[in-house]
Amino acid sequence: MKLEAIKIQNFRSIQQVNLEDCGGFNVIVGKNNVGKSNILLAIDAFFKSLSKGEPIVLNPPIGKIIDYHANLLEVPIKITMLFHLSLAERDNLIQDIVLESPQVKNSVDGIDPELRLAVTLTVITSPEAFAYVQKIALCKLSSLAFSQEEIVRTILEINTEAAKELVDKAKRSQELENESQEFEVIFSDKFKRLDEDDWKRTKANPSSVTERFLFQVMSRTNRVPKLSRSLSTKLEVLIQSSESKSDFLDAISSLADSLQKEAVSLRSEPIRHKIDSFSGLETSVPIYALNLIKRISEMNVLYLTERRDPIGKREAAQLLDLKVTRGGPEKLRAIQGTVSALLGVEIDAFRAETVRSKEDLDAELDVDQFLVQVNGAGIREALRLILDYELNRPNILLVEEPEIHLHPGLETSIMRYLKRIGKDCQIFITTHSTNFLDTAEMRNVYLASHNNSTSIQLINVEEAEQSIPRELGIRLSALFMFDRLVFVEGPTDEDVIREWASILGINLAQASVGFVPMGGVRNFAHFATEATISFLSKRRVSVFFLLDRDEREETEVKRLSTKLKNEAKLIVLKKRELENYLLSPVAISKFIKFKYQLAGTKDYKSVEIAEITQAINQCADALKDIAIERRVAKITCLPIYPNRNAVLNSDSKTSLIDRIREDYLHQKQRLDELEKDLSKIIEEQTKLVEKNWTNQKLDLVPGDLLLDNVCRIFDVRFSKERDSARLASFMKENEIDSEIGDILKSFVEFL
C-alpha cells in the first residue's frame, strides 16, 4: 500500500487539512507554531491505533482534551488515509470478499482498478476516549471529501451506536483475557513453587495468602495487579475446592482456558446496531474488513520527534548483533558505507570493557574511534536518523526538523539521503530549512500556515521561489557554506556526479563539496563574475566550473578559462556531454530491466549485452547527421548584437540615426559573409566528423539522444532529467571513465 493523500479533521490546531498527491519524499514547511508537527502526529496516531489490527481501539494514543480542536470534545477527531492498492492487494481484497459473500461476486469483479482505498479513523471521548474505524471505502483519487458522489463502494461503515456497542464488547473481552493471563501466568508460576507444607497453609487460609501474594507482586513490579474482586474470589474458591496442589494448578489452567474461550466468543457475538458493509448490513465486522485492517497494521511506521532519544547503547547493541548474525556483516558494512559517504565518519560497535549491571547493555558505539557520546550534536543527530532507518527499515518515516544541529553542508547530505531512501520508504518531514526545499521534489512540498487553524497549501514549481521564502522570512545562503563549490550546468549533472563518487569511494561530504546548478552554460558569465569569484576566493573556497564539451573548440575553452583569472578551475569534458560517459552496455542492460519492472511488465525479455552494444553503434551511426548539424549550427548561429557602444560613443559627427544605420549595415555584412561561407563550413565540419567518426563517434553524438534511441529499441525511454542518475547508479567502478575519476579526485584534493 502506498499513501497518496491524507485528511485530518478537528485535531489540535487543525480544523481540517488535506495533503494531496503525496509522493515518496514529502516536505512540510512553515513558521514556528503553525501546526506542522500535528500533521505528523496525526499520521502516527492513525497507524498506532490500528497496530493490533482491530477496528476498535480502547486506549488510543490520542483523545485527551488537548487533542480536540478548540477543546470541543463533542466534535470527533477524524483521520483519513487514502491508499493506492497494488494489483496483488486488490486481488486479495476481492478474494476475501467473494470467499465470505459469494453472492456479490459479480459486483466485485466490476471494481475499477484505479479506485483508491480510503480508511477513516474516528476518535471519540464519551466519557473515556476510544477510537474506531468508522469507514473503509473505495473512492476516486481526486478527493477526500467523502460525499456520496465521490464514494464508489463502501466496504465498511460503523455508525456511532454500533461503535459504542463494539467498544463495550471489546472492554469485557479484554477483561476476560486479562483474567485469563493473570491466572495462567502470574498465579500459576507462583503456586507451582509451593511445597506440601505451603499448600496446607494456603488451603487453611486462602484469603491471607492471596493478599500476601498481591503485596509481593505490587512491591516487585511497582504497580497494582489488574485483579478485580471477582478474580480474587475465583482464586479463593479454586483453593477451597481443590484437594491437592496438582488439582489446584489444573483448575487454574482450566479456568484460564475457559476465560480465553469466553473472550473469543464474546468478540464474535452479533450486535444489535447493524454495520454497513460491501455485502449489505451486518451484525458483526466482516472478515474481509478485518483482514484489510490487519494489512494496514502490518505497515511499519517510524516517527522521529523533534526531541529524540540520545543515540548510544541500544544502537551499539544492534550493530554488534549484526557482526554475529547470518547476513549481518554485509548489512553492517552497508550501513557503515552509508554513514561514511554522508557524514564523512567511520562507525563501529564493540563489546564494552566494563558493565555496571546485568541489565546494562554491554555494547559501545564508536565514531572515528571515539565514543559516540563525545562527538558533536550534529553528528549524533544525523546518526540517530540514519541508524533508525537502516536498522528498522520502515514503510513510512516521519521526521520532525531533520536539520536540527546540522551544518548546512551536512544538512544537504541528510536531505539527499532522505530523498534517496524515499524511493523505498515514504517520507514526511517538517522543516524550517530552505535546503530541504531547494533540492526536494517541489511537487511534494506543502506550505503550512495558521490563521484560526492550521492550513496546508501544496506548492507548485512556479510559485515556489516567491511563496516559500516569503513565508519563512529567510533567504537561501547555504551556497556559501562549503569548502569547495562545483558549478555545473544543471541539477542532473550533480546527481550523476554524486552517484559516481559514491561508486568510486570518493567522499564528497567529508571534503565539504557543494554543487551549484547554473541552469545551462549560457549562464556561465553570470556565475563566473569577477565579484563572485573574488568573494569566494577570499573565503578560501575552492571553485570549479564543470562544463560539457558540446561543440566547443580549444580556442573557446581557453577564452572561458582566461575569464576566471586562475581564481577558479575550469574543467571541460573531453566527450560531448556527461551522458556520453553513461554508455556502459552492462549498466544500460540493468537500467532497461529496471524500467520493465517499474512498468509492471511481468514477462519482460532478458536483454543481452551484445544486443545493447550493437544497438549503441547502430543508433550512433543514425545520429551522424545530427552531430554534423550541431557543429555547423554552433558556428553559423552565433548571436549577433548591434554595437551599442559604437553607436553612443562614436567620434563621428553624423546623426544618431545614421550611426545606427551604419552599425546595422555592418552586422548585415557579417551575415552576408557568413552566408557565402555556409557550404564551405558544412564541408569542413563534415570532413572533421568523418575523420574522427570510427574511433570517436560515441564521444561526438549527443549522449542523451543516443541513450533514448537505444532504449526505444527495447520499448523503454530514457529521460535525461529523470534517468541519468539512476543509470549512473547501475555502473560498476571499472565502467566509470578514468577521466571522471580524475575529475572527482580533483574536487577533494584541490586547494
pLDDT in tens, 63-120: 999 999 999 999 999 999 999 988 888 888 888 888 888 888 887 777 788 889 999 9
The residues that bridge with 138 in the sheet, in sequence order, are 117, 153
The residues that bridge with 281 in the sheet, in sequence order, are 276
Boundary (domain end) residue, out of 416, 445, 474: 445
Residues 493 and 622 in one domain: no
As given in the structure block, the three cell numbers for residue 587 are 549498466
Question: 648: burial class by Cβ within 10 Å (0-12, 13-18, 19+)?
Answer: exposed
Backbone angles phi, psi at 349, to 5 degrees: -125, 145
**Mean predicted confidence (pLDDT) in 158-179:** 88
**Mean predicted confidence (pLDDT) in 496-503:** 95
Residues 543 and 400 in one domain: no
How far apart are the C-alpha atoms of 36 and 21, rounded to whole Å? 17
Residues 376 and 521 in one domain: no
pLDDT one-digit tens code per residue, 29-58: 877 788 999 999 999 999 999 999 999 999
What pLDDT shows up at residue 649?
80
What pLDDT shows up at residue 358?
47
- Buried/exposed 330-369: b ≥16 CB within 10 Å, e otherwise: eebeebbebbbbbbbbebbbeebeeeeeeeeebbbbbbee
**Mean predicted confidence (pLDDT) in 224-247:** 70
Q: Is residue 468 part of a domain?
A: no
What percentage of the chain reaches a pLDDT higher than 90? 40
Where are any strands of DSSP class E within 89-238? 116-125, 129-139, 151-157
Most confident of 133-147, 254-268, 380-394, 629-643: 380-394
**For residue 121, what are the contacts with CB-CB under 8 A and spacing of at least 6?**
45, 46, 49, 50, 78, 79, 80, 131, 132, 133, 134
Residues 277 and 314 in one domain: no
pLDDT one-digit tens code per residue, 685-722: 999 999 999 999 999 999 999 999 999 999 899 999 99
pLDDT one-digit tens code per residue, 609-625: 999 999 999 999 999 99
Residues 19 and 132 in one domain: yes
User: What 8-state DSSP symbol labels residue 374?
Assistant: G
* HSE-CB of 203 using CA atoms within 13 angstroms: 15
Q: Is residue 463 part of a domain?
A: no
Q: What is the pTM of this model?
A: 0.64
If you write DSSP's letter for every residue of 466-502 in order, what string do you get? HHHHHHHT----GGGS-SEEEEESSHHHHHHHHHHHH
pLDDT one-digit tens code per residue, 348-376: 888 876 655 544 557 888 888 777 766 67
pLDDT one-digit tens code per residue, 284-320: 999 999 999 999 999 999 999 888 777 878 888 889 8
CATH of the domain at 441: 3.40.50.300
Residue count (the chain):
751
Q: Is residue 18 part of a domain?
A: yes
CA distances from 544 to 90, 254, 485, 530, 691 (A): 52, 79, 6, 14, 33
Cβ(729)–Cβ(722) below 8 Å? no
CATH of the domain at 58: 3.40.50
Boundary (domain end) residue, out of 557, 578, 599: 578
CA angle at 542 for the pair 417 and 514, rounded to the nearest 5° = 15
How far apart are the C-alpha atoms of 59 and 49, rounded to whole Å? 8
Residues 514 and 601 in one domain: no
Q: Is residue 302 part of a domain?
A: no
If you write DSSP's letter for every residue of 74-128 in order, what string do you get? TS-EEEEEEEEPPHHHHHHHHHHHHHH-GGGHHHHHT--TT-EEEEEEEEEESSS
As given in the structure block, the three cell numbers for residue 483 are 569548502
CA distances from 297 to 146, 428, 524, 690 (A): 23, 19, 53, 64
What pLDDT shows up at residue 539?
62
Q: Provide the pairing of β-strand 301-304 with 347-351.
A: unpaired
**Mean predicted confidence (pLDDT) in 259-275:** 85
Q: Is residue 526 part of a domain?
A: yes
Number of domains in the chain: 5
Residues 599 and 745 in one domain: yes
Residues 174 and 202 in one domain: yes
Q: The domain containing residue 193 runs over which residues?
A: 168-268
Confidence category of residue 462, pLDDT binned at 50, 70, 90: very low
As given in the structure block, the three cell numbers for residue 750 are 584541490
As given in the structure block, the three cell numbers for residue 502 are 559514491
CA distances from 579 to 46, 688, 727 (A): 45, 22, 10
645 CA to centre of own chain: 55
DSSP alpha helices (H): ranges in 599-638? 609-622, 624-636
Q: Is residue 195 part of a domain?
A: yes
Boundary (domain end) residue, out of 578, 594, 611: 578
Query: 3-class DSSP state for residue 573?
Result: coil
**Mean predicted confidence (pLDDT) in 635-651:** 82
Residues 46 and 149 in one domain: yes
**Mean predicted confidence (pLDDT) in 270-285:** 91
Q: Is residue 472 part of a domain?
A: no
- 312: how many CB neighbours lie within 10 A of its CB? 17
Q: Is residue 465 part of a domain?
A: no
Residues 233 and 134 in one domain: no
pLDDT one-digit tens code per residue, 403-427: 887 777 788 788 888 888 988 899 9
Q: Which residue has the higher pLDDT, 197 or 329?
A: 329
Residue corresponding to grid cell 533508525: 388
How far apart are the C-alpha atoms of 184 and 179, rounded to whole Å? 8
**Mean predicted confidence (pLDDT) in 560-586:** 91
Nearest alpha carbon to residue 291 among 136, 184, 80: 136
What pLDDT shows up at residue 191?
65
Residues 147 and 188 in one domain: no
Residues 572 and 590 in one domain: no
